[in-house]
Amino acid sequence: MSNRIEIAPGVVHYPGWFERAAQEALVASLREVAKAAPLFTPRMPRTGQPFSVKMTNCGALGWVSDINGYRYQPTHPDTGAAWPPMPLALLDAWQSLAAYPHPPEACLVNFYDGPAKMGLHQDRDEQDFDAPVLSVSLGDTGVFRVGATTRGGPTRSVKLQSGDALSFGGPARLAFHGIDRIIPGTSTLLPQGGRINLTLRRVTRP
Ligand code: SIN
Ligand code: MN
């Protein structure tokens, strides 16, 4: 069991939701995911500027970003293959934590090496905002920042450690959020260090 800490209305942190053995099993599943759907470098719409994180996806739909924009699509942008299925442990976590009666359709896998970070943004490419976004952190600690649903509002930060889950939904579904930095050397889960973040999302209206 894990504590449930509501850090802001609709933003709930579950420290240590996945114990160490479950984290290791998840990493093993994600290595299989990355074999079928290699990590790629997303690019900003219009400018083509590369993100500092590398990405892949599992589930029926995957989130991609390139010069033409942000979108969900059923296939990998480089290989054209369907995304591999979502590991069952993630579907279980969604069932336990999402308080939403339909399964997630997309799991975005973000890989942060030492200097990678992610600027404040909203997750708003989904048709269904009734479902929360559920995030799972693995590896080195990430400094997560979350704020209001308007840009420039107050923000707070929370350290997400390996095994932590965090959901944002309801009044926080469109909250701005991002990763300020990764704290190196804070986990032994990934032999080369770095951080993996998984975000599970419902995309279409059931
Ligand atoms: C994201 O917003 O896509 C990632 C958040 C995180 O890495 O914790
Ligand atoms: Mn996001």
The percent of residues in the chain predicted with pLDDT above 90, rounded, is 99
Give pLDDT, residue 72.
Answer: 98
Give me the phi and psi of 93, to 5 degrees please: -65, -40
Give pLDDT, residue 1.
Answer: 56
Does position 185 have pLDDT exceeding 80, yes or no?
yes
What pLDDT, in 10s, does the model give residues 18-51? 999 999 999 999 999 999 999 999 999 999 999 9
What is the C-alpha to C-alpha distance for residues 24 and 138, in angstroms, rounded to an integer? 9
Per-domain residue ranges for the chain?
5-201
Stretch 99-122: mean pLDDT, rounded?
97
Give pLDDT, residue 2.
Answer: 78
CA angle, residues 103, 180, 42, in degrees to nearest 5:
60
What ligand 1 atom has the least distance to the C-alpha of 121? 2
Give pLDDT, residue 60.
Answer: 98
Beta pairing partners, 158: 144
Band (106; pLDDT cuts 50, 70, 90) = very high
Helices (H), 18-62: 20-36
What is the C-alpha to C-alpha distance for residues 146 and 176, in angstroms, rounded to an integer? 6
What ligand 1 atom has the least distance to the C-alpha of 123? 2
Of all protein residues, the one whose alpha carbon is nearest to atom 5 of ligand 1 is 178
Band (58; pLDDT cuts 50, 70, 90) = very high
Stretch 102-119: mean pLDDT, rounded?
97
Beta pairing partners, 155: 147
CA 21 – ligand 1 centroid, Å: 23
CATH topology of domain 5-201: Jelly Rolls (2.60.120)
